[in-house]
Amino acid sequence: MAAARRQRVAAILPLLKRAYPQARCTLDHRTPLELLVATILSAQSTDQRVNIVTKDLFRKYRSARDYADVPQERLERDIHSTGFYRSKAKAIRAMAKALIEDHGGKVPDTMEELTSLSGVGRKTANVVLGNAFGKNVGVVVDTHVTRVARRLGLTRHTDPKKIEQDLMPIVPQEEWTLFSHLLIHLGRAICQARSPRCEQCPIQSHCPSAETFLRDRLKKQTVGTSRKP
């Protein structure tokens, strides 16, 4: 079973790389701290919305000290449109204080140290490690990766931690960060939740779900045509 899934990954990786040569983290950032803040803000929000907010935010706050010292209410106003702004502001300020107290104001580059920070889970840590430090420690699993990986038959789980554990043994470690970006790009452009565009998918021939989607779509079209007077 694992061997078959590993072969499927080996087949789809070059196709996805060819389809999405510019696949990368879509959260705008220049430093590990900026990426860490942006990733915290991205929870229950879109990368596009976060990038709009951080364009001004990153001009105002340039260091962990800036985030640690800003009053809660002011930071809430600055990040309000990302949603859940109270909890996010609280997490960012607590994270910044921990960076100052425990890490000299710098973002650490290990999974253990990152996940000890307020508001930072494994997914956020994987984003920072893979994209700010170039370390493939794990696979980022968001809603797009969850959906696409399940449709590709690479996992049967819905829990991100279990999905990550399924993906890590079948994806080459040096590709872990890129693999997430590729699935996210595919999920946004083609393999959408409600109406996947299987006809346009660059890996359709390797997807066990594509035949079902296409058959169901053809059936609906046939039914619709037969009902016309």
Residue pLDDT, tens place only, 174-205: 999 999 999 999 999 999 999 999 999 999 99
User: Has residue 150 got a pLDDT over 70?
Assistant: yes
Which of 123, 135, 220, 228 is catalytic? The answer is 123
Banded model confidence at residue 229, pLDDT cuts 50, 70, 90 = low
Q: Give dist(CA 134, CA 137) in Å, integer.
A: 9
- Confidence class for position 1, pLDDT limits 50, 70, 90: confident
Tell me, what's the pLDDT at 156?
Answer: 97
Q: Is there a catalytic annotation at residue 219? A: no
Give the confidence band of 219 by pLDDT, cuts at 50, 70, 90: confident
78, 142, 161, 228: which is the annotated catalytic residue? 142
* Neighbouring C-alpha atoms within 13 Å toward the C-beta of 156: 2
The pLDDT, as a whole number, for residue 189 is 96
pLDDT attached to residue 225? 55
Fold of the 32-106 domain: Endonuclease III; domain 1 (1.10.340)
Mean residue pLDDT across the chain: 95
Residue 60 falls in the annotated catalytic set: no
Q: Alpha-carbon distance 228 to 224, whole Å?
A: 7
Dist CA 7 CA 9 (whole Å): 5
Q: What is the pTM of this model?
A: 0.91
Rounded to the nearest 5 degrees, what angle is found at the Cα of 191, between the Cα atoms of 13 and 177?
40
Which secondary-structure segment (H or E) carries 226? helix 210-226
